[in-house]
Amino acid sequence: RFRSAFDNATIGMGVVALDGRWLQVNRSLCDIVGYDERELLASEVRAVTHRADLVALEEQMQRFVVGAISSHQTEVRYCHKSGKEVWAHLGMSLVRDGDARPLHLIFQIQDITDRKRAESQLLHDAFHDALTGLPNRALFMDHVKMAIQRSRRSGNRLFAALFLDLDRFKIINDSLGHMVGDQLLVGIAHRLEACLRPGDTVARLGGDEFTILLEDLSTTDDAIEVALR
């Protein structure tokens, strides 16, 4: 019954040796990482784990080996055979032998890539303007607060906040339509981004109002120079 449940589970399941080698894998796990059973059994967990998550994996595997923990849950990234990144919820459990010595691990892997993408998109939308893709008021104010804190720590560190309001923009919307007005706003956003230095921030507050945050200025003349571009 365990073998049937293992093979037919809708989530990825694998039996893993304490040194990281795959001992058994099911079809769902193969689908998640894109490798067939033969390929996985000839490799180890580290081979499909994203390099940024390898250190954390090694630490947890070592804790299992010494018997410090018997189970652990985490989120981890895997490298699909096609090269894409796969986010997964990983549950690891330790199996002991008759003498209570660590024998091997059971991995339960659920693909959560779609959920992570949705979370990332929601976070992006919360802090960016939907039309231009620029930071919105909330993100701009957060950057300003950080600039103020950095300036307080270093008294000689200058920054400037510029405000840009487009005069007579309503005439564009009334005469040519809102679609043309939106295209103009997007064009202005791109133009402003092209004028800035790496690390500077341009944001849209709403309507025809834009703001620019310039950091690491030597003198106030630097801000004037950017404003006149």
Torsional class of 161: left (φ above 0), alpha (ψ -120 to 50), beta (otherwise): beta
Least reliable range by pLDDT among 20-29, 174-183, 217-226: 217-226
Confidence of residue 227 (pLDDT cuts 50, 70, 90): low
Q: Is 208 a catalytic residue?
A: yes
| Cβ contact 159:214 at 8 Å | yes
Token digits of residue 22: 């795959």
Strands 102-111 and 85-96: antiparallel
- 222 by Cβ neighbours in 10 Å (0-12 / 13-18 / 19+) ranks as middle
Which of the 8 DSSP states describes residue 130? T
Global pTM value: 0.73
Confidence of residue 228 (pLDDT cuts 50, 70, 90): low
DSSP notation for 158-221: EEEEEEEE-TTHHHHHHHH-HHHHHHHHHHHHHHHHHHSPTT-EEEEEETTEEEEEEEEESSHH
- 123 by Cβ neighbours in 10 Å (0-12 / 13-18 / 19+) ranks as exposed
Catalytic entry in 165, 182, 208, 222: 208
> Nearest Cα to 131, choosing from 218, 209, 37, 27?
209
Question: Residue 122 — φ and ψ, nearest 5°?
Answer: -65, -40
Confidence of residue 199 (pLDDT cuts 50, 70, 90): confident
Taking residues 15-33, report their average pLDDT. Answer: 96
Distance between CA atoms of residues 53 and 63, nearest Å: 16
